Structure 1
Amino acid sequence: MDYKNIAKRIIELKNADLELRDKLIQTGQLDEGYNKEMEKLHNKNAEALDEIIDAIGYPTIDKVGKEANEATWLIIQHSIGQPSFMKKCEKLLEKAVNDNKANPKNLAYLTDRIAVFEGNPQRYGTQFDWDKNKELSPYNFDDLTKVNQRRKSIGLNTLEEQTEIIRTQAKNENQSPPIDFEKRKQEIKKWQKKVGWTK
């Protein structure tokens, strides 16, 4: 198996994703719901990665190296319109983490993202969105003390520290809260239903 070229391909997929994100930040289009061009790219990348996974299994560090392994996670994390693909990858990533072949932080982010889309509390507090006060805040989670313990166990900072980092990053990228908070909430719910996260 030509792991070197597979690694290169995975990194190319990730770079295309980040380039488009940068372009949308520059043009101020990142805040306007789920951008159609981005949605299309995320789905295309998920499809390409799914084929790679079917061929070689999960792209673990020992197979494709650290950079392509991280890129794999980013592509999965962004494949939000593909619930079954994300859940399949969560199981594979969990096994890779248990075998010390992938980063446990990546599993925490993926587990939380799936929980949020399914309407469940997150375990690590990694997922954020705009709140009623026009601030970026973590999505619903079970218990702050437990969340911080879980975060510490895999080498993450506290949720309070992370909240500050996220808010600063949003300011630096000139991100702005939705004009109509309730409307956006309804749009997200509609989208979750449409792609199959919720019934």
Structure 2
Amino acid sequence: MNTDNIADKIIDLKNQDEQLRDELIRKGKLSDGYDPSMEALHNRNAEILNDIIDVIGYPTIDKVGKAASEAAWLIIQHAIGQPGFMKKCRHLLENAVSENKADPVSLAYLTDRIAVLEGAPQLFGTQFDWDENGALSPNHFDDVTRVNERRKRIGLNTLEEQTALIRQRVASENQTPPADADKRKHDMNQWRKKTGWIK
């Protein structure tokens, strides 16, 4: 399999993802729950990337180049309807990080994403959601001091600094809290059960 073609294919998947996200932001639909068109795209992208990974292993920079490696990570982060795939990729990414072939920050984000989906506290505070006051805040984590120590070890800013940046970004994108936060939370929990993240 030609690695140049693989890299182009992975980048194309990421571009489709970002294009749909931009479209949903323009329509004001990003905060209302998991849009069916986005869910379908995420699942399709995960299936295609999984086939690639079965052939070449985790798409590290040395295999597919920096742009495609970063694109692969984004696809994995967004594959929330595929618990088995995400956990498989976390394991592969752990190995790549231990061999200095991948960025520990990527692993931190993926580890936190899986923890949040499973209902466990995140370690690095990378995952955010709308809180009861209508502000984007970090999902549940164990202890802010420990979180900031872990973040510092891998070169991230503090959780407080990141929270300010995230809130600034969503404001610039004109994102707003969901109209019915309780319904969104209920729907998300039902979805997590259906996909196998929680029982």
TM > 0.5 between the two?
yes
What's the TM-score, normalizing by structure 2?
0.98
Cα RMSD (Å) of the superposition?
0.7
Unaligned runs of 5+ in 1: none
Aligned residue number for residue 179 of structure 2 = 179
Aligned residue for 1:100, secondary structure, equals coil
Aligned residue number for residue 64 of structure 2 = 64
Aligned residue number for residue 147 of structure 1 = 147
Deviations 1:84-112 (A, max 9, x none): 00000000011111111111111000000
CA distance in 1, matches of 2:178, 2:60: 38
CA distance in 2, matches of 1:7, 1:96: 18
The offset of 1:81, in angstroms, is 0.3
Aligned residue number for residue 17 of structure 2 = 17
Deviations 1:13-56 (A, max 9, x none): 00010011111111112122101111000000000000000011
Cα contact 2:32–2:179 (8 A) shared by 1: no
CA distance in 1, matches of 2:101, 2:7: 15
Aligned residue number for residue 113 of structure 1 = 113
CA distance in 1, matches of 2:20, 2:124: 28
What's the TM-score, normalizing by structure 1?
0.98
CA distance in 2, matches of 1:32, 1:164: 22
The offset of 1:166, in angstroms, is 0.5
Aligned residue number for residue 103 of structure 1 = 103
Work out the number of aligned pairs and report it. 199
CA distance in 1, matches of 2:185, 2:36: 18
Deviations 1:146-180 (A, max 9, x none): 10010011111000000000101111111111122
Structure 1 residue ranges, 4+ long, deviating more than 3 angstroms after superposition? none
Cα contact 2:32–2:184 (8 A) shared by 1: no
CA distance in 2, matches of 1:112, 1:17: 21
Matched, 1:35 2:35: yes
Amino acid aligned to 1:39: E
Amino acid aligned to 2:7: A
Matched, 1:85 2:85: yes
